[in-house]
């Protein structure tokens, strides 16, 4: 599987100037290549052939554009090939229903990275103090740069580094991403997976996650960050556009955005890592996020939780750790009773599920997570009971809470006792009939 870990670079002032010069030169090459590409009729070859036609003209362009001789050749080639990648990405968005146009020239602030392919770079992990290394980049403004890099984690086992992408963030910080290939672990055979080794996940707004084992995980609170962002943006609006003060304030705004994005990304990666390593199969709702954002009300909260990003991160961690990742149809998971299957309409403000048919009562999101798990088991082919056990015992916990329901367990949907671990037991189990001390 393809893996691209990212690390922070710490270039000096002179090295920053050289990196910026190279980035801007590569941007100009991209704009020139896009102009030449648009001049080629579509009937003269496929997209790949037309892009390669422009790429093959680079040696001739170097004869009159002498600055290109100070940039590594694969970096220039990769900039031209980015046209093909961007067009393919636009096609994917168009297939999903988005209204896309054509490629445009890139302004200096819009083009932030350049890529070395196969050669022109070297990662020296034996130089520098602990958790530090040296990244050598050839022909950056005509010279080889030795840039300190912080290896906050080891690179996964790999044969070779395929590509290195050097990127400048809006905050001004530089990062390096290493494209490597790692062996994808084998996933367990569905016939050998037990239902207790799987989990269904219901994604929400009030609570970010509620799974079938009863965990209720709250979303992050960004109220303080939003207030600071509003202050910084008001200050930015008072500055003269593109002045020195405006640029300083723009970076402050970018730092707030980056801090919020990093918190959300770190939060999602940690959750995805937990589920991918704890279970053999993870079932999640295949939500149509685009239509949900276009609907009425609560659009900001829906966009902030980032369901689409979390599903992509969760799928990546499942592939990395050999866990089955299955998306199920979310239609009716909230209305349908996890015990008997009867559907009951309930408005959004009702947070409890009470089935008028069988009397099963539980949390609204927990009921949806149980339905997600049931559908996922059927889709994956795991052998399990078709009906939900009448009596369920599992931990019902809200992360970060300190109320009386901490580590409580729901028994017969009415009584609660405290147990030491999460569990789901079949109807008639003696654990449901014994006292709390005996259950522990």
pLDDT > 90? residue 301: no
Beta-carbon contacts of residue 125 (< 8 Å; ≥ 6 apart): 133, 151
pLDDT at residue number 34: 96
CATH architecture of 191-388: 2-Layer Sandwich (3.30)
The per-residue pLDDT of the chain, averaged, comes to: 81
Phi, psi for residue 203 in degrees, rounded to 5: -95, 135
- Taking the CA atoms of 379, 381, 386 and 389 in sequence, report the sign of the dihedral they define: negative
Mean pLDDT to the nearest integer, 190-218:
85
Most confident of 201-205, 339-343, 409-413: 201-205
Q: Is the pLDDT of residue 388 over 50?
A: no
How much is the pLDDT for 65?
A: 94
Asked if 437 contacts 407 with a C-beta cutoff of 8 angstroms, the reply is no
Nearest alpha carbon to residue 370 among 402, 311, 410, 407: 410
Pick from 222-231, 233-242, 301-310: least confident: 301-310
Report pLDDT for 439: 33
190 or 343: which carries more pLDDT confidence?
190
Instruction: Decide if pLDDT at 408 tops 50.
Output: no
The residue length of the chain stands at: 440
- Band (pLDDT 50/70/90 cuts) for residue 294 is low
- pLDDT category of residue 292 using cuts at 50, 70 and 90: low
CB 133 within 8 A of CB 149: yes
Is pLDDT above 70 for 296? no
Do 32 and 159 contact (CB within 8 A), yes or no? no
pLDDT for res 26: 97
Three-class SS state of 253: helix
Least confident of 11-25, 109-123, 149-163: 149-163
**Predicted local distance difference test score (pLDDT) of residue 154:** 86
Give all strands (DSSP E) within 53-188, no chain letters. 113-117, 121-124, 132-140, 143-150, 161-168, 174-181
pLDDT, one tens digit per residue, over 248-261 is 999 999 999 999 99
Q: Are residues 285 and 327 in contact, defined by beta-carbon separation less than 8 angstroms?
A: yes
Q: How many CB atoms lie within 10 A of CB 419?
A: 18
Q: Is the pLDDT of residue 390 over 90?
A: no
Residues contacting residue 294 through CB under 8 Å, at least 6 positions apart: none
pTM: 0.76
The span from the CA of 18 to the CA of 253, in Å, is 25
How much of the chain, in percent, has pLDDT values that exceed 70?
83
Tokens representing 40 are 């080629």
pLDDT value for 179: 93
pLDDT at position 291, please? 64
pLDDT, mean of residues 355-383:
81
Boundaries of CATH 3.30.420 in the chain?
191-388
Mean of the pLDDT values across residues 184-211?
Answer: 85
Give pLDDT, residue 330: 80
Q: What is the mean pLDDT of residues 366-393?
A: 69
pLDDT of residue 128: 72
- What pLDDT is attached to residue 299? 64
- Residue 104, φ and ψ in degrees, nearest 5: -120, 165
Q: What pLDDT score was predicted for residue 331?
A: 83
pLDDT bucket at 417, cuts 50 / 70 / 90: very low
Average pLDDT over residues 393-421: 34
């Amino acid at each position: 599987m393809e893996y691209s870990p990212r690390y922070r670079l710490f270039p000096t002032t002179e090295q920053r100037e050289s990196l910026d010069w190279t980035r801007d030169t590569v941007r100009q090459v991209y704009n020139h290549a896009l102009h030449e590409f648009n001049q080629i009729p579509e009937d003269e070859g496929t997209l790949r052939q037309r892009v390669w036609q422009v790429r093959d003209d680079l040696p001739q362009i170097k004869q009159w554009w002498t600055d290109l001789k100070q940039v590594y050749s694969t970096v220039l080639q990769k900039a031209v090939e980015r046209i093909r990648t961007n067009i393919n990405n636009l096609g994917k968005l168009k297939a999903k229903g988005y209204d896309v146009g054509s490629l445009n020239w890139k302004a200096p602030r819009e083009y932030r990275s350049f890529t070395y392919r196969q050669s022109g770079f070297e990662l020296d992990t034996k130089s520098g103090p602990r958790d530090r290394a040296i990244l050598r980049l050839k022909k950056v403004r005509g010279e080889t740069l030795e840039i300190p890099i912080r290896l906050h984690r080891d690179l996964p086992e790999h044969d070779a580094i395929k590509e290195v992408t050097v990127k400048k963030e809006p905050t001004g910080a530089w990062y390096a991403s290493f494209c490597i290939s790692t062996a994808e672990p084998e996933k367990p055979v569905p016939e050998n997976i037990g239902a207790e080794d799987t989990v269904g996940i219901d994604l929400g707004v009030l609570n970010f996650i509620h799974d079938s084992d009863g965990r209720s995980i709250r979303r992050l609170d960004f109220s303080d960050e939003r207030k600071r962002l509003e202050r910084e943006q008001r200050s930015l609006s008072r500055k003269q556009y593109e002045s020195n003060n405006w640029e300083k304030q723009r970076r402050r705004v970018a730092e707030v955005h980056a801090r919020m994005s990093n918190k959300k990304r770190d939060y999602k990666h940690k959750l995805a890592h937990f589920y991918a390593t704890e279970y053999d199969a993870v079932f999640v709702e295949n939500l149509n996020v685009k239509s949900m954002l276009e609907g009425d009300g609560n659009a900001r909260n829906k966009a902030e939780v980032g369901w689409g990003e979390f599903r992509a991160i969760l799928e990546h961690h499942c592939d990395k750790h050999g866990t089955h990742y299955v998306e199920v149809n979310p239609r009716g998971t909230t209305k349908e009773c996890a015990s008997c299957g009867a559907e009951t309409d309930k408005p959004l403000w009702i947070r409890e599920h009470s089935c008028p048919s069988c009397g099963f009562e539980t949390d609204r999101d927990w009921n949806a997570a149980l339905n997600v798990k049931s559908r996922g088991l059927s889709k994956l082919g795991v052998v399990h009971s078709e009906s939900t056990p009448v009596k369920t015992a599992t931990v019902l916990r809200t992360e970060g809470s300190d109320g009386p329901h901490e580590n409580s367990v729901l028994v017969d949907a009415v009584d609660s006792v405290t147990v030491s671990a999460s569990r789901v037991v079949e109807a008639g189990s003696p654990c449901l009939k014994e006292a709390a001390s005996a259950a522990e």
